[in-house]
Amino acid sequence: MWFVRNPLWSYLIIVNVYLFVLMFVDKQRAVQHKWRIPESQLLILGIIGGGLGGLLAQRLFHHKTRKVYFTVCFLIGIVVLFTLIYFFKGM
């Protein structure tokens, strides 16, 4: 398992899957008018490398699509993701 040996891949997979799941849960809670996940938590996870999972969840669940700063943060997160991959590709 290549991603277990490389901590960077493990990190990127975990943060993207985690943000994807959080976006799904937040969407469900929004529909049910329940307590929501703080936007700051979603944005921070997007910026620190979870942008791909956030952007995918945003499109799939139609969640936070009107808030441009979410899309911007997720795009920044994708740049961070590819930058990390580029600089640590030899690991």
d(CA 12, CA 29): 26
pLDDT for the residue numbered 31: 95
Q: Is the pLDDT of residue 22 over 90?
A: yes
Is residue 1 classed as helix, strand or coil in its secondary structure? coil
Lowest mean pLDDT, pick from 5-19, 35-49, 68-82: 5-19
Q: Is the pLDDT of residue 7 over 90?
A: no
Per-domain boundaries in the chain: 2-87
Q: What is the mean pLDDT of the chain?
A: 92
Rg of the chain over Cα atoms, rounded to whole angstroms, equals 14
Contacts of residue 71, defined as CB under 8 A and 6 or more positions apart, other chains included, come to: 55, 58, 65
Contacts of residue 31, defined as CB under 8 A and 6 or more positions apart, other chains included, come to: none
What is the reported pTM? 0.90
15: nearest Cα among 58, 66, 52, 56? 52
